[in-house]
Amino acid sequence: MVNITFPDGNIKSFEDSPTGLDVAKSISEGFARNCIAMELNSDLVDLNTKIDRDSQIRLITPKDPEALKILRHSASHVMAQAILHLYKDAKLTIGPAVEDGFYYDIDMEPVSKDDFEKIEAEMKKAIKAKHPFKREVVSKSQALEFYKNEPYKLEMISELEEGTISFYKHDDFTDLCRGPHLPHTGFIKAIKLMKVSGAYWRADQTKAQLQRIYGTAFFTKKELDEHLYFLEEAKKRNHRKIGIALDLFSFHDEAPGMPFFHAKGMVMWNALLDYWKEEHRTAGYVETKTPIMLNRSLWKKSGHWENYREHMYTAKVDEDEYAIKPMNCPGGMILYGMKPHSYKDLPIRAAEIGLVHRHELSGVLSGLFRVRAFHQDDAHIFMTLRQIEDEILGVLKLVERIYSTFGLGFHLELSTRPEKSIGTHEEWETTTQGLTSALDTYGQDYKLNEGDGAFYGPKIDVHIKDALGRTWQCGTIQLDMSLPERFNLSYIDKNNEKRRPIMIHRVIYGSIERFFGILIEHFAGKFPLWMAPVQTVVLPINDDLVTYANDIKIKLEKAGVRTEVDHRTESLNKKVRDAQLTNIPLILTIGNKEKESGSLSVRTLDGNVRYGVSHEEFLTRILSHINKRNLDLEIFKA
């Protein structure tokens, strides 16, 4: 007798050892046809796995979060089979599922997108045939014998410990694999090969260069179509292309991974920082600034020299070794330690927009998203144990205010003590409880990541969601018990005893360069009026009106409105079109009628035009709109 416990606590008994499929069929035939795998006592396994003892199981269907990964891993096997059919000399390495699909690294002749159609056609034959995926367990010696002509598989197997090794077979194709897999290939309803690139075996430039072929797969064609539409939208919003088109920033070989911000980009940059500083002053922060280069002794004290040196840029100055800072924290410790503190001083909220440098490999650099030089909107909050909950709650409310200004939603994740950590059990209990209480008081659902905290303390990560539904981890709130100890920081409590402060590290923008790139893609280059590099453009319909247009520009700029005049000898329609292509929010058309009446014709980016607007009304409305940092362009709404 085998007792099966389901997630809802119900128990069902079976006379013999059932498979997952048997259990699914006991619920209903229709349900069983929709199952693809199961979670057996916390392990994901194939649906045809026998259950020979009392167990807890969860049957996996396409709606479950694990389903796509299983589907895509199975699709990578189908692609590898198709390639072996078409390219007889190909040698396989590995083929995992990844975030948006799967890939397989293969030692083979070069292929291009032109070859994808025939590979997909071969894959579809296997999918149509509904070949079952079958797991086979073999010894290490058997695996070595099976792959005696496959150098990459031999290398992987030789590194495995003695014991059983699993193969997966469908049709005439067998691969070394842990699984699990779909019941059969027919579950793969929609596939598409996406791109091909080069990849070194085991990311080692001294080893063979392979063909990395990427694909994606879904349970329905509709899902695939939606994904491809999403990718096209993302391509249109590519911040690198928009950045060049709008003259915001650029990259140059003279400083790889270090962006150059142009005049219009700096207008946006300063708008972001002005807003940040305004919010932080209101929230009780002071602003500090620490040097960009600091002596090696400081980095040894902080632990970075031992644990992070390969990512740091170093230089010798006066026969002593220095490092350009990869983070702002150690400088903040020096500032706190400059004078004695009382418990009455705490909390101290010290913020810094610090320029940091980290050596990233050239292959991972990606526009503003991954750079070597960037600014962090750091803040370090020094406090007592009793202040943890209130200070965390204060940061969460600040996070909400700032992200909502950009129309960004977010979710929270709490990470607790990892296996390797410092500090006492009591300290971790206190700090984790402080974060948990603050989150509970804040009232937003959060995800718990057990054991995923920093070695020095628990943390809350903030993941924002952009206009395309993509998530980005930008903000983080970390409790630190290590640096105050390393730097011997203290305060005097009400009993006149020396105590160690608890410290919060937190960022909201995170890397400001990265956040800048996210905003470009979030708004698709059509920025809210308060952020726009050029807020209005004045278009005189003929040369006689250029002087009058410049007078309007001067008046608007004196009021703080960023304005340009387009005095080119082009048609009005072309000027309007060019202004729209560069996403200038408000287009002011000036003709003789407008000059005589002292009015403006105002066109917004969506094509709506309002005629006969007085200069005073326009200025009043636009300044109100900018000061409120509204997201829309409805400056004439009631």
Catalytic residues: 329, 358, 376, 378, 380, 459, 505
Q: Is 363 helix (H, G, I), strand (E, B) or coil?
A: helix
Please, are residues 391 and 381 in contact by the beta-carbon 8 Å criterion?
A: yes
Give the residue among 405, 416, 436, 359 at the shortest CA–CA distance from 508. Answer: 405
Give the residue among 346, 345, 307, 349 at the shortest CA–CA distance from 326. Answer: 307
CB-based contacts of 183, cutoff 8 Å, min separation 6: 21, 35, 36, 46, 47, 48, 132, 133
Give the residue among 444, 406, 459, 464 at the shortest CA–CA distance from 276. Answer: 406
Annotate 236-266 with b (16+ C-beta within 10 A) or e (fewer): ebbbbebbeebebbebeeeeebebebbebbe
Q: How far apart (Å, rounded) are the C-alpha atoms in residues 564 and 548?
A: 13
For residue 601, give both structure tokens. 């014709």
Q: Is 19 helix (H, G, I), strand (E, B) or coil?
A: strand
| Tokens 């002011």 -> residue | 588
List strands edge to edge, sheet with 609-614: 563-565, 536-540, 586-590, 599-604, 609-614
Q: How far apart (Å, rounded) are the C-alpha atoms in residues 621 and 264?
A: 24
Q: How far apart (Å, rounded) are the C-alpha atoms in residues 468 and 235?
A: 11
Cα→Cα distances 635→186, 385, 407, 570, 623, Å: 55, 48, 18, 28, 9
Helix (H) or strand (E) holding 479: strand 471-480
Please, are residues 535 and 559 in contact by the beta-carbon 8 Å criterion?
A: no
DSSP string, 119-151: HHHHHHHHHHHTPBPEEEEEEHHHHHHHTTT-H
